[in-house]
């Protein structure tokens, strides 16, 4: 029985790790991007001023490893497996059948992992529960009951201070675990009194937001959102398993022991495999994957991921078009990812941090620096309890571009306090108060040359005037040129596209027309083929149009004309113009 449980425990740990590595790698990356760890002494002392601040500081330290392959998943699972291990040890020591009920610990691990599937449930909430139960397990090893009960009781204020609201589980589980007929007063009355006094102290002293936060999992949940009652399940199960372990029955027949043990392992594993997907938000996971690729400038990764996805929303279209623009392919491949309207180029931002960051990325790509800065700042505002490294890096760059060196220095000072980004901060310190260095930099200098001569703080007059201002400031900006021309094509404004071509064709940014613009020229001058020669259209594009026209006229009376045309010409502007 002993070796069976140990072997299955190892397999169970591998199962949990496999689930995390398969389904959550980009959720872990998003957690790292939005939780900046400040490793200086002042940040640590500030954390000690709040109830549960120490475990938050420690948790943020662990989160900075989440974007590391393999290591991130292992660290993410540490509090889950820590809770599992301490519970298994208590069940082995405190039950009559020492190894029979050990699999009950798997239920706690599964419940905790499903809570962590919720992006808005903080990882340090699981860490707090693991540490609290670890302390309780340590007290359970002590033989003199009086010493054990005294240490348990007088550790309650410290658990409340360092670990936060999870002290409630610590108190209830400890009372059930340690109470007996001889010492029931010390094991019940004193701990409850110390718990009430501790919570009251932190609440009255404004060291926690509210009384409800001080006594519930709300302390470990995004404060602006409504918490699901499910996050209470792990707490309740922990109290029941730890507190009730001494009364678990002992199986008499060996066959029943083996059956109960095996079934007890299979059930929680089955629940995780069967219902784990209902606790994950796959659409958000896809968005976090794309955001991570954009942050790391993995443009091939974006396009490869979206190649197998139906382009059913503007998020996908924005990322695809931005990746193509970064690779210099957008003008030729503009319709390869089935865009729909101008929002396929620039999504309408909302209050979601990830959407704000996407809007910032797109604007930064084309050179709308002011708008990129505004959206990055708004994205940071959506993280009320933390700083985001992705947003801070964008704000450093935009303020360097504007020459707002004091503001950039403030952000760099924060980044310099981190473990893994301090070298980046030192690299960008070289640009502080050094216009010549900024102008000479390939990225920052190019963006600075795109600054509107109107000196606008944000995009007041709309997308098209902003792009025109950028091109006026920097006629060599091919990305802005491509986005501007496609804006006319995607809105089917052929008159506007004609004016665009007349103004910019032959300039530094548009010396020759990309494929999408050539298709637009043919659509614009269908009845004036003599004008095609003025734009140096490629024979391949002209031949493709002739095939399109022949197929259209051949099947124009067919009820399924759209499907017929889509088979060969779905990714052309002509198809988009007529059927989308």
- What pLDDT score does 7 carry? 85
Q: Which residue has the higher pLDDT, 104 or 186?
A: 104
Q: What percent of the chain has pLDDT over 70?
A: 94
Q: List CB contacts of 20: < 8 A, sequence separation 6 or more.
A: 28, 73, 76, 77, 113
Cα 331 to Cα 432: distance, rounded to the nearest angstrom: 36
Between 161-165, 464-468, 482-486, the lowest mean confidence (pLDDT) is in 464-468
Query: Is 391:9 a contact under the CB 8 Å cutoff?
Result: no
Query: What is the residue-averaged pLDDT of the chain?
Result: 90
> Is it the case that residue 97 has pLDDT exceeding 90?
no
DSSP code of residue 280: S
Cα 496 to Cα 206: distance, rounded to the nearest angstrom: 59
pLDDT in tens, 24-33: 999 999 999 9
> Is it the case that residue 458 has pLDDT exceeding 70?
no
Sign of CA dihedral 332, 336, 341, 343: negative
> Is it the case that residue 393 has pLDDT exceeding 80?
yes
pLDDT in tens, 1-22: 677 778 888 999 999 999 999 9
- What pLDDT score does 252 carry? 53
Q: Which residue has the higher pLDDT, 264 or 156?
A: 156
- What pLDDT score does 186 carry? 58
DSSP string over 389-400: HHHHHHHHHHHH
Query: Is 392:422 a contact under the CB 8 Å cutoff?
Result: no
Q: Which pLDDT band, with edges at 50, 70 and 90, does 112 fall under?
A: very high
What is the arithmetic mean of pLDDT over 109-115? 96
Cα 177 to Cα 495: distance, rounded to the nearest angstrom: 79
> Is it the case that residue 256 has pLDDT exceeding 80?
no
- What pLDDT score does 235 carry? 96
Cα 552 to Cα 10: distance, rounded to the nearest angstrom: 63
Tell me, letter by letter, the H, E, C secondary structure of 508-536: CCCCCCCHHHHHHHHHHCCCCHHHHHHHC
Question: CB-based burial of residue 446 (10 Å sphere; 0-12 exposed, 13-18 middle, 19+ buried)?
Answer: middle
Q: Which pLDDT band, with edges at 50, 70 and 90, does 455 fall under?
A: low
What is the arithmetic mean of pLDDT over 414-440? 95
> Is it the case that residue 374 has pLDDT exceeding 70?
yes
Q: How many Cα atoms occupy the beta-carbon half-sphere of 332 within 13 Å?
A: 8
Query: Is 48:54 a contact under the CB 8 Å cutoff?
Result: yes
Cα 355 to Cα 347: distance, rounded to the nearest angstrom: 8
- What pLDDT score does 48 carry? 94
pLDDT in tens, 31-55: 999 999 998 899 999 999 999 999 9
Closest CA to 313 of 354, 272, 343: 343
pLDDT in tens, 487-542: 999 999 999 999 999 999 998 889 999 999 999 999 999 989 889 999 999 999 99
Cα 458 to Cα 370: distance, rounded to the nearest angstrom: 5
- What pLDDT score does 247 carry? 65
Q: List CB contacts of 479: < 8 A, sequence separation 6 or more.
A: 325, 326, 330, 365, 366, 367
Closest CA to 32 of 471, 300, 406, 418: 418
- What pLDDT score does 236 carry? 95
Q: What percent of the chain has pLDDT over 90?
A: 73
> Is it the case that residue 96 has pLDDT exceeding 60?
no
Q: Which residues pair with 121 in a beta bridge?
A: 221
Q: Which residue has the higher pLDDT, 574 or 245?
A: 574
Q: List CB contacts of 103: < 8 A, sequence separation 6 or more.
A: 5, 8, 261, 264, 265, 268
- What pLDDT score does 462 carry? 80
Q: Which pLDDT band, with edges at 50, 70 and 90, does 103 fall under?
A: confident
pLDDT in tens, 200-225: 999 999 999 899 999 999 999 998 88
- What pLDDT score does 281 carry? 83
> CB neighbours (10 Å) of residue 251?
17
Predicted TM-score (pTM) of the model is 0.91
> Is it the case that residue 351 has pLDDT exceeding 90?
no
């Amino acid at each position: 029985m002993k070796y069976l449980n140990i072997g299955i425990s190892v397999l169970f740990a591998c199962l949990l790790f496999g689930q995390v590595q398969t389904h959550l790698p980009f959720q872990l990356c998003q957690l790292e991007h939005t939780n900046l760890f400040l490793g200086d002494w002042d940040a640590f002392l500030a954390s000690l001023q709040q109830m549960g601040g120490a475990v938050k500081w420690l948790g943020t330290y662990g989160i900075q490893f989440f974007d590391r392959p393999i290591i991130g998943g292992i660290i993410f699972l540490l509090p889950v497996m820590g809770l599992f291990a301490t519970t298994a040890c208590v069940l082995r020591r405190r039950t009559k059948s020492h190894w029979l009920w050990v699999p009950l610990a798997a239920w706690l691990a599964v419940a905790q992992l499903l809570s962590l599937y919720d992006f808005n449930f903080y990882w340090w909430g699981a860490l707090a529960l693991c540490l609290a139960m670890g302390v309780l397990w340590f007290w359970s090893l002590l033989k003199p009951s009086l010493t054990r009960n005294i240490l348990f009781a007088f550790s309650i204020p410290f658990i409340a201070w360092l670990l936060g609201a999870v002290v409630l589980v610590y108190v209830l589980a400890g009372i059930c675990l340690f109470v007996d007929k001889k010492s029931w007063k010390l094991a019940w009355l004193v701990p409850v009194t110390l718990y009430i006094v501790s919570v009251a102290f932190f609440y009255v002293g404004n060291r926690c937001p509210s009384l409800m936060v001080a006594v519930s999992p709300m302390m470990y949940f995004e404060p602006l959102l409504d918490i699901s009652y499910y996050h209470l399940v792990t707490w309740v199960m922990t109290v029941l398993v730890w507190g009730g372990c001494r009364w678990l029955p002992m199986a008499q027949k060996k066959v029943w022991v083996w059956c109960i043990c095996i079934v007890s392992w299979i059930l929680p594993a089955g629940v995780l495999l069967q219902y784990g997907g209902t606790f994950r938000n796959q659409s958000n996971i896809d968005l976090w994957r794309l955001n991570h690729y954009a942050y790391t400038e993995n443009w091939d990764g974006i396009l490869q991921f979206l190649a197998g996805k139906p382009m059913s929303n503007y998020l996908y279209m924005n990322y695809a078009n931005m990746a193509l623009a970064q690779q210099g392919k957008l003008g030729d491949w503009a319709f390869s990812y089935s865009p729909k309207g101008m929002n396929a180029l620039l999504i309408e931002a909302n209050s979601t941090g990830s959407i704000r960051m996407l809007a910032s990325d797109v604007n930064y790509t084309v050179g709308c620096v002011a708008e990129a800065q505004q959206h990055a700042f708004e994205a940071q505002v959506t993280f009320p309890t933390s700083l985001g490294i992705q947003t801070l890096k964008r704000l450093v760059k935009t303020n360097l571009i504007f020459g707002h060196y004091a503001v950039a220095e403030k952000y760099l000072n924060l980044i310099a306090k981190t473990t893994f980004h301090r070298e980046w901060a030192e690299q960008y310190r070289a640009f502080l108060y050094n216009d010549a260095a900024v102008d000479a930099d390939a990225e920052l200098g190019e963006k600075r040359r795109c600054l509107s001569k109107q000196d606008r703080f944000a995009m007041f007059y709309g997308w098209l005037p902003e792009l025109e201002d950028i091109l006026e400031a920097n006629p060599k900006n091919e990305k802005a040129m491509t986005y501007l021309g496609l804006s006319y094509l995607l809105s089917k404004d052929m008159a506007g596209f004609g004016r665009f071509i007349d103004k910019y064709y032959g300039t530094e940014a548009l010396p020759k027309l990309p494929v999408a613009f050539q298709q637009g020229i043919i659509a614009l001058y269908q009845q004036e083929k003599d004008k095609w020669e003025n734009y140096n259209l490629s024979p391949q594009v002209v031949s493709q149009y002739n095939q399109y026209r022949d197929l259209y006229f051949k099947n124009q009376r067919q009820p399924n004309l759209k499907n017929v045309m889509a088979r060969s010409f779905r990714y052309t502007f002509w198809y988009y113009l007529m059927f989308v």
